[in-house]
Each structure stands twice: as structure tokens, then as C-alpha cells.
Chains A and B, each alone.
Chain A
Amino acid sequence: MNGIQIFVFIFIMWIMIIAGGGILLSIIAPISIHGFGKYDEFFDSGIKAVIAILLVVTWIFIISKIKNLIFQKQIKH
């Protein structure tokens, strides 16, 4: 079927969304930051937010690479 690469790309993005959620919940969410006294909660959520944003940026970078790989022929054309 023509354009099967786009279906493959959508499927990969779906897997990456689920995997991203898995990493966020299994690895990042359980991290507990201490040592800032009454500001513990503030730094805890702040650092987790920064890690989550970095994860999103990393995901966009990976998706961009996958895009280039899948659509190499079309993009060059």
C-alpha cells in the first residue's frame, strides 16, 4: 500500500507516547527529593517538571531522527 510509512510512523509515535508515560511513572515519579527543609515539595515537583520537559525534548529529538529515517526518500525528493 502506498504511504505505509506514515502508518508506521504513527504507530511508532503511539508506542513512544506509551513508553514515555511508562518512564515518567515508573522511574521519575517515585524519585523523592529531600534536604531543602520546608521547600522540599517545591524542589521535588520543580526538578521532576524539569526532567519531564527534558524527556519531552529528547522524545521530539528521537521522533525527528525516526522521521528522517522513515521518510528519507520522500524528504530528499
Chain B
Amino acid sequence: MLDRTITAIIVSVIAFVVVYTLTPILIKSLEGRKMVVKDYNRVGGAMVARPGGPSILAGILSSELVLYALSPSTGILAIILTTSLAFLVGLADDRKVLGGWFKPVALAATAIPIILIGAYDYHLEFPLFGTVKIPELYLALIIFMIPITGNTINSIDVLNGVASGFMTIASFALTISLFIVHNYDIAIASLPLGFVSLAFYKYHKFPSRIFPGDSGAVMLGAMYGAIAIVGHVEIIAAVALLPAVINSFLFLSSVKRIIEHRQLKANPVTHTEDFKLMATAEKEAPVTLVRLILAHGPMTEKEVGFAIFKLALFSAALAIITAFMMGIRL
């Protein structure tokens, strides 16, 4: 137990320190190479460095590789490979505008290492009711889960600090849940996800100095999905992610097809004269989580971010309750 505690501290510190120290260097490097995008929600439209994915990847790889060296397991290897591949998919989308279908299909391919390594258990566990053996269906679930979690996190990356802040809350809820269900090894492997998200939030929070980009947001989501599969906590992971799932669900049910945000005909959010965010009245604009939050009146970007974090904390609490319910059988 003491070994595990020390290992957990080591990987957490490495993940946090690497992202915390590398991100300012990455910001300078990106700004120097003019790799900046306009922050449309900021007065004057400040230019912000993008993508932050490389520093997040460095934090994840350094901590997970140390963990793998200390206690090798197929689960950790699968998480490393899927996360790295998801980073490459996101980076390709950062560099070149790709079609709406590219990311889901490419992200489905990033799940292949989990299947090839065999780092999964085809028994799906539900709270209160036990487990169900679904060998064939589970392979489909793996293939679908990574694109869903990757794109879900990417879809909430619309405001300063939201993707990294949301991921911090959801991943720590997942870590606590993994400890509750006694899956200590994967719980430790999930710690870097929370700590890289937390370290990145320092620079991503309002007013952002860097955006994660697709390489950052998609990678965080894909890693979350990989941990859920390898750690056999798929249902708990889905519960912790509910606000982001709702955002994707609202978006898809109003747009009725898979498209990129940049392809939208109308923006769901506009600005007031004092530059607060306000829900647009345009009929063609999709319904999103931010638009629903703003339905009660204009808010600052920071206020909307905190409203999303409250929802994330609520879902995190439900996820932890679900983890406790895994031990109860009706």
C-alpha cells in the first residue's frame, strides 16, 4: 500500500510539474511562430497561442512511462498508446481543417491498441444489477467509446478554461471511483489525467494564455475513455461526463448531423454591448449547453465557465455515488 502511495505521489508530481513548466515555454514558442488564434469572446479579440496539446502530451507520457517502468501493465501501455494516437489525430486537425467525419473515424482507430493488447474485460458492470458478458458488443463499445469521449471533451472546449477545468473535475471523480471499486493500479494510472488538466487550467483559465486545441482536448477525452475501458468503469465514466454528453446530445439533436463548429451557419452565442455572452435568437443556431445556461440572461465568460463547473461537480458526485452502488446488489 505504501509503495502504491509513493508511486501515486511520484506520477502526480511529474504530470503536474511537466505541464506547469513546459506550457509557458510552449506559449512563447507558439507566439514566436505566429501560431495564435483570435479569442472572439475577449474585448478587442486578443490573440491566444494554440495548440497546447504538446505540453499536455509531455506531462501524460512522462508520468505514465515512469508508472509503466515502476509497475508494468498492459492497461498502462494501452492508455499510453491510445492517448498518443489521439494526440496525433487532434494535431492533424489543428494543422489542417478536416471534415466532420475525420475525427470520429480516426479516433475509432486509436482504440485498436486496447483491443490488440487485450487490455479490456468484456463484462460490463452496472450499479445494483451486476455484470453482463457481451464479448462481441464490447468490442463495438471500445471502438465507439474513444471517439465519443474525445469529441465530447472537444465539443465543450468553447470557452476559456472550460475543457481543462471540466476534465480536472471529471477525471478526479473517475480516480476516486476507481479507488472505491478497488482498482488501485488504474486509479494511479488515471491520476496524471487530473493533474495535467489542473496544471494546464492555470494557463487556460480566463483570460486564456493558451488554448488546448484539438490535439489537447481530443487527447484528454480519448485518455479518459481509455481509462474507463481499461479500468472497467465505463458506466461511472459516462455519468461523470454527463454535462459534456448533454452538450453533444443537444448539439446533434438540433443540427441533426456530424459537423464541425466552424461549419455552423449561425453561432449559438453572441455578445452584449458590455461584451457579456448572450444566447442568440437565430433559429439556425444549434442548441448547446452554453446557450441553455445563457437562456436566463447574459453572463460573463467566467460566470458561464463556473456554471459548467457546478454541473461537472454535480455529475462527479453522481459518478462517485454510482461507484458505491457497484458494490450493492439488488
Contacts and interface: CB of A to CB of B under 8 A. Distances in A.
Given A22-B126, A22-B129, A45-B136, 10 more contacts: A10-B246, A14-B322, A21-B127, A21-B128, A25-B132, A29-B132, A49-B136, A64-B253, A71-B292, A75-B287
Sorted nearest first, the 9 A-B pairs with minimum C-beta distance are A21-B126, A74-B295, A25-B129, A2-B296, A49-B137, A22-B129, A10-B242, A29-B132, A14-B318
Interface residues of A, number: 31
Contacts of B297: 2
Interface string B230-250: 000001001100110110011
A21 B311 contact: no
Interface string B256-297: 000000000000000000000001010000010101110111
Interface in A20-68: 21-22, 24-26, 29, 45-46, 48-49, 52, 63-64, 67
Given A14-B239, A14-B318, A3 B126 contact: no
Contacts of A3: 292-293, 295-296, 307
Main secondary structure of the interface of B (DSSP, over half): helix
B127 A18 contact: yes
B243 A10 contact: yes
Contact of A21 (B235, B242, B296): B235
A64 B254 CA distance: 10
